[in-house]
Structure 1
Amino acid sequence: MNTRDLEYFEALTKIKNFSQVAAEFGVTQPTITMALKRLETHFGIQLIDRDQSHARITVTPAGEKLAGHVQVITAELTAAEAELARARSGKIRFGLPPIIGNYYFPTLAPALMQAGLIDQLQTVEDGSQNLLADLRGGHLDGALLGSTGPLNAPALKVQPLRRVPFTLVVSPDHPLAIKKQLSFAELAAEPFVTLAEGFVHTKAFEWFTHNAGIQPSVVYRTQDVALLKHMVQAKVGVALLAQIAVQPADHLVTIPLTDPGQPTFDIALVTSRTLQHTPATDQLAQLLLEEGEQ
């Protein structure tokens, strides 16, 4: 059995036409037919039911089961090829969500530079959910990911680094700026500016609104954290942000939220369990873990 036969079979179960599958791969139709025959001989069962009179095919129950396994096999092979290609390049492909990349990672940069690792990093910026999918697909060596509470990713290696609270953010001259703390229920009448879907903050915002039993107006959504903070400064609305995302230079006021059991913004180093270990990847992981404990 070879992997190409499996690729032909997977395409055949989706397209259900021998000639179209052959055209897609740039081979002859007998090539697809022989590949299927080899698989059926290997497994000793019919995988495709051919209706010659109507030129149609049907995937048998056995074929459906094999197709499910083939999807997993091909995904794993793709991930392995990507990981090995990065190992040959010597670069560490590393994911950073915007908030972690802009406000947490820079605190680690001096140590990374001193260790000679900065030049070996090829960073990818995206939301935590998208980066998590890239890790599972083998497109990244690792990532610093944010989550609401401990990250649950059974197929990946998760090493917690830091936990910070979410906080309400307002402009200095906003009427709420004098408050020492607030419950989220007190914000029912406040307009909010929020981060777009795909950010951990979206889940946190949903938790607070559901727990407080309110549905405040969201007047603006953005993927740009800096723009969101400018909107808060302009009093377009208030915002919910992880505490590390607000710096003194932003000239914004953060107000603790008193809601019991509220989620936290957890930062973790996440890597594939099948990661090709090198001295550089091991050194990077060790340094990030040490810095995270400080």
Structure 2
Amino acid sequence: MNIKDLYYFQRLISTQSYTQTAADFHVSQPTIFQAIKRLERHFQTTLFFRQAKTKALVLTPSGQQLLLAANDIIANWQHVNESIGHLRQHTLRLGIEPAISEHYLPTLTKPIVEKDLLNSVHTVEMGANQLVKQVLGGQLDLAISGNLDQTLDERLAVTPLRPFHFKILASPHHKLAQMDNPTFEDALQSPFVILNATYLNKLVFHQLAEQLSIEPQVMFESDSSSLISGLVREDLALGFVSDVGQPADADLIEIPITDVQVPSVHINLIRRAHQFPIGLFKDVMDIVETTFKNDDATNQKENN
């Protein structure tokens, strides 16, 4: 048995046609027939049968199991080919969430330049959900992404870099800023401006509101932290922000969230579980982990 047999089997079940499958792979129909026979001999079982009325190919339980395995094997094989190709070319594709990029990319770039890796690391920005999809799909090798801890796919290897901390942003003139120990429930009596669905902030914000069974008033959604700060500064709304990508603003009041259970959210370094960190891959992972560790140490020193 070889991996081509799995490709033929997968396509045959998809097309339901020996003729179409042979044409797709530019081989003869007997080649497809023989591949199926090899698989059945190897596993000593029948993989499918042809339904009499519709002529459809119907998988047996063994065929269903093999198709599931074939899908994983073929996907992993394609990823391995891509990964080895990048190793040969000494290139790596790194995805990063925009809010994280704004805060960390300058610091990350310095050691990349110092190690003469700038031409080898190709960086792209996109939202957290898209980053996960592209790592799983093999379009990205590594990603730095904010994720709800319970939503990460088991096919990913995940290195937590630092937690998110969420807070309410208010103008000093807002009634919430005048209250003693204001709660998130108090805050929901006012309109909010929040980051849009590209960011996890929106998902977390609505989860917190659901805990209180309150429908929040969202005045505006944006992909700009600066715009949110501007609207809050004008006392038009409250902001819901994290400590990632949101620069400190001395003109605004930061109010902690204490009366609801904030979900666990981390900035993570993610890769496919079967992708081994060697060579350039390991060099970039080390740079990312060291950058976040140093930043965390600096923040703790400043806070003390």
- With the shorter chain as reference, the TM-score category is 0.7 to 0.9
Residues 1:278 and 1:65: Cα distance change in structure 2 (over 3 Å): closer
Identity of aligned residues (%): 28
Map residues 33-48 of structure 1 onto 2, 5 A cutoff.
33-48=33-48
Residue 133, structure 1, aligned to residue 133, structure 2: yes
CA distance 1:170–1:20, change in 2 (3 Å): farther
Q: Counterpart of 2:158?
A: 158
* 1:35-114 map, 5 Å: 35-51=35-51, 55-114=55-114
Shift of 1:253: 4.5
1:167 aligns with 2:182: no
Q: CA offset at residue 223 of structure 1?
A: 4.5
**Bigger mean CA deviation after superposition, 155-164 or 183-192:** 155-164
Paired positions, count: 294
Tell me the CA shift for residue 82 of structure 1. Answer: 1.7
2:239 and 2:189 map into 1 onto residues whose CA distance is 13
Aligned equivalents of 2:227 and 2:82: distance in 1? 35
How large is the RMSD of aligned CA atoms in angstroms? 3.1
Normalising by structure 2, we get a TM-score of 0.81
Q: Which amino acid aligns with 2:90?
A: G
**Counterpart of 1:245 in 2: which secondary structure?**
coil
Deviation at 1:178? Answer: 5.2
Helix, strand or coil for the counterpart of 2:119? helix
- Partner amino acid for 2:113? M
CA distance in 2, matches of 1:49, 1:189: 63
- Asked if the contact 2:176/2:187 (under 8 Å) is kept, the reply is no
Task: Name the aligned partner's letter for residue 208 of structure 1.
Answer: L
Structure 2 unaligned runs (5+)? Answer: 298-304
Unpaired runs of at least 5, structure 1 = none
Letter in 1 for 2:107: T
Alignment match, 2:209:
209
Taking structure 1 as reference, are residues 278 and 56 closer, same or farther at Cα in structure 2, changes over 3 Å only?
closer
For the 8 Å contact 1:185–1:212, the answer to whether it is kept is yes
The aligned runs of 1:253-264 (5 Å cut-off) are: 253-259=253-259, 261-263=261-263
The 3 A distance-change label for structure 1 pair 54 and 151 is: closer
TM norm structure 1: 0.83
Given that residues 170 and 232 in structure 1 are in contact (C-alpha distance below 8 angstroms), is that contact kept between their aligned partners in structure 2?
Answer: yes
In the TM superposition, residue 124 of structure 1 has moved relative to its aligned partner by: 2.3
1:94 CA drift (Å):
1.0
Partners in 1 of 2:284 and 2:48 — Cα distance? 49
